[in-house]
């Protein structure tokens, strides 16, 4: 029951601060820190003018700041993405908070713009599809049965194609309803199994899903490249990185620490260890190898993280370009099918009358 209450609270937090407000908060925080504000002063100032829809959360933030909470802890309370919270946490360890905040800001901005572009692309065709389905349900219970009775009384012969189309149109709403219920139940079942599964099984499950697996790899590779850039910039050794990851309360980072530690004990370097893990992009290995040879791994990783953001945006744009024509084509096929179901027998009836 306690776990359920925690999950419900987390779900509610999604609606407490909009994505746009999260973006604005980060850039304001950096500006205030640059002007000499302490972290506590900056956050207390910002939350006065930020639309946080929960007085309880505001009280939590103030209490946490009074108890000496760091930036990552406050961002976690505000339900920032895990990648951002982790990056800020590591940045605070090395005193690079003001340098890292713009990178976190850029990540959120790109993510927000991609989401908005995706929503704008699908909202119109989806609206058309919903309107068509409502219209189809009404027609199935009013006009189409009347036409069918008319054709039956006039002994109009129905071709196999017309029969199939009529069956398709009349059963489509029910079929879609059952499909929706099935998808919802399947998704819930998958999430329950996924949450209880060990980290290796989680990765295998995600990597088995087309498209999602690509985004997962890009996301994990971006997180790692950004973190490695931060670590090596501050002269942190690989063994120290392993120790830092192992101390985090994060199943994935603990798993990564264990894999790197085991690999290095067997005489492997970082690129060879990462090559064995399937959750990263193949290009990551090339950049790590090149950075290790030149001794500039922090620069290589910073450049590569920027490339990954661009690749993610390009993939989203490609999917957007594909989705809209597909939905419009589907609507067109449904409209033509509906037209044929009603009008083809009508033409036959006119021929009979002649």
Q: Per mean pLDDT, which range of 70-74, 180-184, 207-211, 336-340 is the poorest?
A: 336-340
pLDDT the model gives residue 221: 92
Q: Two tokens at 84?
A: 């951002």
CB 307 within 8 A of CB 221: no
Confidence band (pLDDT; 50, 70, 90) for 11?
A: very low
Q: Two tokens at 42?
A: 């900056």
In the listed set 59, 92, 108, which residue is the last one of a domain according to the structure?
108
pLDDT the model gives residue 9: 43
The dihedral over CA atoms of 282, 288, 291, 292, expressed in degrees to the nearest 10, equals: -140
Q: Is the pLDDT of residue 304 over 60?
A: yes
pLDDT the model gives residue 69: 92
Confidence band (pLDDT; 50, 70, 90) for 213?
A: very high
Question: Using alpha carbons only, what angle is made at residue 97 by residues 28 and 247, rounded to the nearest 5 degrees?
Answer: 130
Evaluate whether residue 231 is within a structural domain: yes
Number of helices (H) and strands (E) in the chain: give both, helices first.
16, 0
Q: pLDDT tens digit string along 220-258?
A: 999 999 998 888 888 888 888 889 999 888 899 999 999
Exposure string (b/e) for 147-159, b if CB count within 10 Å is 16 or more?
bbeebeeeebebe
Tell me the pLDDT of the chain averaged across its residues: 85
Confidence band (pLDDT; 50, 70, 90) for 72?
A: very high
Evaluate whether residue 277 is within a structural domain: yes
Quote the CA–CA distance of 301 and 105 in Å, as a whole number: 18
Q: Two tokens at 107?
A: 């990540």
Evaluate whether residue 286 is within a structural domain: yes
Evaluate whether residue 266 is within a structural domain: yes
pLDDT the model gives residue 54: 75
Handedness of CA 302, 303, 309, 311 (dihedral sign): negative
Q: Two tokens at 48?
A: 């006065």
Q: What is the pTM of this model?
A: 0.80
Give the structural domain span for 57: 2-108
Quote the CA–CA distance of 195 and 159 in Å, as a whole number: 52
Quote the CA–CA distance of 73 and 321 in Å, as a whole number: 39
Q: Is the pLDDT of residue 131 over 70?
A: yes
* Of 28, 209, 174, 44, the residue nearest 105 (C-alpha): 28
pLDDT higher for 3 or 354? 354
Evaluate whether residue 353 is within a structural domain: no
Confidence band (pLDDT; 50, 70, 90) for 348?
A: low
Evaluate whether residue 327 is within a structural domain: no
Q: What is the mean pLDDT of residues 193-210?
A: 90
In the listed set 308, 331, 347, which residue is the last one of a domain according to the structure?
308
Evaluate whether residue 175 is within a structural domain: no
In the listed set 76, 108, 140, which residue is the last one of a domain according to the structure?
108
Evaluate whether residue 193 is within a structural domain: no
Find tokens 């009603």 and name the residue.
342
Q: How many domains does the chain have?
A: 2
Q: Two tokens at 163?
A: 């029969």
Q: Is the pLDDT of residue 7 over 50?
A: no
Q: Is the pLDDT of residue 88 over 90?
A: yes
Q: Two tokens at 120?
A: 């704008």
């Amino acid at each position: 029951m306690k776990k359920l209450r925690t999950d419900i609270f987390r779900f509610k937090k999604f609606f407490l601060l909009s994505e746009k407000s999260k973006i604005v908060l980060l850039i304001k925080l950096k500006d205030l820190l640059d002007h000499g504000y302490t972290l506590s002063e900056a956050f207390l100032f910002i939350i006065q003018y930020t639309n946080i829809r929960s007085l309880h959360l505001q009280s939590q933030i103030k209490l946490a700041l009074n108890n000496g909470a760091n930036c990552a802890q406050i961002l976690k309370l505000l339900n920032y993405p895990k990648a951002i919270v982790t990056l800020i946490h590591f940045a605070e360890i090395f005193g690079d908070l003001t340098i890292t905040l713009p990178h976190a800001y850029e990540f959120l901005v790109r993510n927000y713009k991609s989401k908005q572009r995706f929503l704008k692309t699908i909202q119109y065709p989806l609206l058309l599809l919903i309107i068509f389905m409502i219209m189809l349900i009404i027609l199935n219970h009013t006009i189409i049965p009347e036409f069918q009775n008319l054709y039956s009384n006039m002994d109009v012969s129905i071709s196999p194609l017309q029969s199939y189309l009529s069956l398709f149109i009349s059963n489509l709403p029910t079929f879609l309803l059952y499909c929706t219920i099935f998808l919802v139940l399947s998704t819930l079942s998958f999430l329950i199994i996924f949450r209880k599964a060990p980290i290796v099984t989680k990765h295998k499950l995600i990597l088995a899903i087309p498209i999602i697996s690509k985004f997962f790899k890009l996301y994990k590779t971006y997180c790692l490249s950004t973190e490695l850039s931060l670590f090596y910039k501050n002269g942190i050794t690989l063994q120290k990185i392993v120790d830092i990851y192992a101390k985090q309360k994060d199943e994935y980072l603990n798993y990564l620490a264990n894999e790197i530690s085991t690999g290095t004990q067997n005489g492997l370097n970082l690129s060879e260890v990462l090559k064995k893990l399937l959750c990263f992009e193949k290009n990551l290995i090339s950049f790590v190898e090149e950075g290790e040879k030149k001794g500039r791994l922090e620069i290589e990783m910073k450049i590569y993280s920027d490339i990954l953001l661009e690749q993610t945006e390009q993939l989203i744009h490609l999917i957007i370009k594909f989705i809209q024509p597909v939905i419009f084509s589907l609507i067109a096929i449904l409209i033509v099918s509906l037209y044929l179901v009603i009008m083809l027998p009508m033409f036959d009836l006119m021929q009979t009358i002649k």
